[in-house]
Chains A and B, each alone.
Chain A
Amino acid sequence: MKILEKIKKNKLLSAVIFTYIVLLITMPDKAIAAINNSMYYVFEMLLIMPVIFILTSLTEAWVPKEVIINGFGEKSGFKGNIFAFLLGSFSAGPIYAAFPVCRMLLKKGASIANIVIVLSTWAVIKVPMLANEAKFLGPKFMATRWVFTTISIFIMAYFIAKAVKKEDMPEEEETNQSEVSVNQDYCIGCGVCASICPKIFYMEDKKALARNEVIAGPMVEKVNKAAKACPANAINYA
């Protein structure tokens, strides 16, 4: 039962392992050649993984996100664009983790152009990923792609701001709850909430969940701290 679940969760790895087992039986020399070919890339990855890992941790902890976020309101102009660019560049997590963050930024008065910039930089040119790209495709490849992507992002921001107005954005849903919940669509399973406030948050299946409890007293501050620390802004707490 447990093994089946593991296979389901790691479909790609299971399929690859299965292929190797079949190969080892039918044509062992090819299987060994394939393992040798893979090992080269496994070692390459081991050379760069700790770097990406440490850079991601440092970005999460030390980039002053609040200072940056307060830097781009409606009339912040070019300086606001640069702040948006920095926020996207120094973020961690996949693009879908950026959607609720952008929603929060809109509420704080960020312009459409800056939302495009945050979302696109978040997706394509995050700093720890640049290190990885340079490792596997060369520093020159990485730098050239970075330059062209940056130019494209600014052009796109200009056009989308012309085409889409704030009225086209969905209305804010009324959230009238005093309970905590974790939006399962956006949780990236990092576990930071569970480590800040283990009384309320717990991890299950690589996602965080909140216990159905009344939050009062010193717990309020802890839940707030966890909600703020969530890199995907996925904790709803009114």
Chain B
Amino acid sequence: MKLPKLDIFTLSLWIITIGLFLFFLFKDKKKTLNSTKVAKGMMGGLLGDLMGILFLIGLILTFVPPETIKTLLGKSNVYLATIISAFAGSVTLIPAFIAFPLVGSLVKVGASIVPAVAFLTTLTMVGFVTFPLEKKELGFKFALWRNSLSFVFALIIAFVMGVVA
């Protein structure tokens, strides 16, 4: 079994995070410990979906050959793949936190980053499912403008990143 290495980036994140945690723990123990309960409640509800996605990644990597991912989501098919990914991101409602490993695994085996960026950006910024709620709180006109502009900008960000990154 291949295990991930603890790279310098993750290591520095750990050091910074532990440092911050100790600092705030020292400042106010009760407040800081209480806050972990809130976060536990927020993230606890996601564990089921998270495990589902992680084990789905294994299935995809085992059964879909990298060549297929390269043809479907790779450089040769980039415009169509990007627009479909942007639509897929708009209608799905999964937390980005769960989407990153899935998208990361596809990019690793050869998917282009352009559709990846489009999916990640619309996933979080454009909400088909949450549109009725947004309309109720902030009005139809606002919701329509915000969601359609976000969709357009997600595509722009994706294509620009394809050029520079």
Contact = CB atoms under 8 A, between A and B. Distances in A.
A187 to B, nearest CB: 10
B138 A103 contact: yes
B26 interface: no
Contacts of B10: 47-48, 51, 135
Contacts of B35: 57-58, 60-62
A60 B52 contact: no
A185 B54 CA distance: 28
Contacts of B17: 50-51, 54-55
A20 B14 CA distance: 34
A102 B133 CA distance: 12
B4 A43 contact: yes
What size tier do the contact residues of chain B reach? Answer: 35 or more
Given A39-B1, A168-B142, A195 B20 contact: no
A212 B121 CA distance: 41
B100 A16 contact: no
Interface in B89-134: 93, 95-97, 100-101, 103-105, 107, 113, 116-117, 120-121, 124-125, 127, 130, 133-134
Contact of B57 (A33, A38, A95, A132): A38
Contacts of B34: 61, 195
| Dominant secondary structure at the A interface | helix
Nearest to A160: B145
Interface residues of A, number: 89
Interface stretch (A68-76, A77-85, A118-126, A216-224): A118-126
Given A57-B36, A169-B139, A145 B157 contact: yes
A195 B41 CA distance: 11
Nearest to B56: A16
Nearest to A156: B149
Contacts of B127: 95-96
Which interface residue of A38, A39, A163 has the most chain B CB atoms within 10 A? A38
24 contacts: A12-B53, A37-B58, A42-B51, A42-B54, A51-B14, A54-B20, A54-B39, A56-B39, A57-B32, A57-B35, A58-B21, A58-B32, A60-B38, A99-B130, A99-B134, A131-B13, A137-B103, A137-B113, A149-B121, A156-B150, A160-B146, A168-B142, A170-B137, A191-B41
Interface of B: 1-4, 6, 9-10, 13-14, 17-18, 20-21, 24, 31-32, 34-43, 45, 48-59, 61-63, 93, 95-97, 100-101, 103-105, 107, 113, 116-117, 120-121, 124-125, 127, 130, 133-134, 136-142, 145-146, 149-150, 153, 156-157, 160-161, 164-165
Interface of A: 9-10, 12-13, 15-17, 19-20, 30, 33-45, 47-48, 50-58, 60-62, 92-96, 99-100, 102-103, 106, 112, 115-116, 119-120, 123-124, 129, 131-137, 139-141, 144-145, 148-149, 152, 155-156, 159-160, 163-164, 168-170, 185-186, 188-192, 195, 206, 231
